[in-house]
């Protein structure tokens, strides 16, 4: 998959900056990389935390930056005033649906429950065949090591099929992850309610 096909990437990340400077450093690097590759950023619309860091860096690098935020969070997340475009929606469900519609790929950076919710919904939609877009996980400083270990544990327990785990592309630095996202080829997904013998 080339950059010509990926015009915008949706980045899920936190409204906090985290405890280590490396989180913000990598967010800035990813934002700059998007601008350097001519790729737009779609994100949660806030000016605080890693959301604000990546938006600022992408804007400084000349990228289109579209924020999508529900009305209830406009004050809490301090809406970014300098975006290319801000879309205000009614609910969190509408936010995720619109971010999906506007984006050609997804990347999750370190974050909390909201980031995990957005990431796993994107994976679930891919698992169900609702989209075939790349889903990247930026595992900054081992932040997601425990999550990746859980996914690996769930495979032999037969709650996650190996091909579903392949829907998630993982790297520890922005350059490598972005390259993997741009080169992504979706795996063959067989819905779990259909056996391979039925194909």
Per-residue pLDDT of the chain (199 residues; tens, 9 = 90+): 334 489 999 999 999 999 999 999 999 999 999 999 999 999 999 999 999 999 999 999 999 999 999 988 876 668 899 999 999 999 999 999 999 999 999 999 999 999 999 999 999 999 998 999 999 999 999 999 999 999 999 999 999 999 999 999 999 999 999 999 999 998 877 665 555 454 4
All domains of the chain in start order, with CATH? 8-181 (3.40.50.450)
pTM across the whole model? 0.91
Q: Which two tokens stand for residue 4?
A: 């010509």
pLDDT at 191: 61
pLDDT at 2: 39
pLDDT at 74: 76
> CA-CA distances (angstroms) from residue 13 to 48, 117, 128, 151, 178?
11, 11, 24, 20, 16
Length of the chain measured in residues? 199
For 74, residues 6+ apart whose C-beta sits below 8 A from its C-beta are 88
pLDDT at 30: 98
């Amino acid at each position: 998959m080339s950059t010509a096909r990926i015009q915008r990437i949706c980045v899920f990340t936190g409204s906090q900056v985290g405890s280590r400077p490396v989180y913000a450093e990598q967010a800035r690097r990813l934002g700059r990389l998007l601008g350097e590759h001519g790729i737009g950023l779609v994100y949660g619309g806030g000016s605080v935390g890693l959301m604000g860091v990546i938006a600022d860096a992408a804007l400084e690098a000349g990228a289109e930056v579209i924020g999508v935020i529900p009305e209830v969070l406009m004050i809490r997340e301090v809406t970014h005033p300098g975006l290319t475009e801000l879309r205000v929606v009614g609910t969190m469900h509408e936010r995720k649906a619109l971010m999906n519609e506007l984006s050609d790929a997804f990347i999750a950076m370190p974050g909390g429950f909201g980031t995990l919710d957005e990431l796993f919904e994107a994976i679930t939609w891919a698992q169900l065949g609702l989209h075939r877009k790349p889903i990247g996980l930026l595992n900054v400083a081992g932040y997601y090591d425990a999550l990746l270990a859980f996914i690996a544990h769930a495979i032999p327990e037969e709650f996650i099929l190996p091909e579903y785990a392949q829907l998630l592309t993982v790297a520890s630095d922005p350059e490598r992850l972005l390259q993997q996202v741009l080169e992504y080829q979706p795996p063959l997904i067989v819905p779990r309610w259909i056996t391979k013998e039925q194909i």
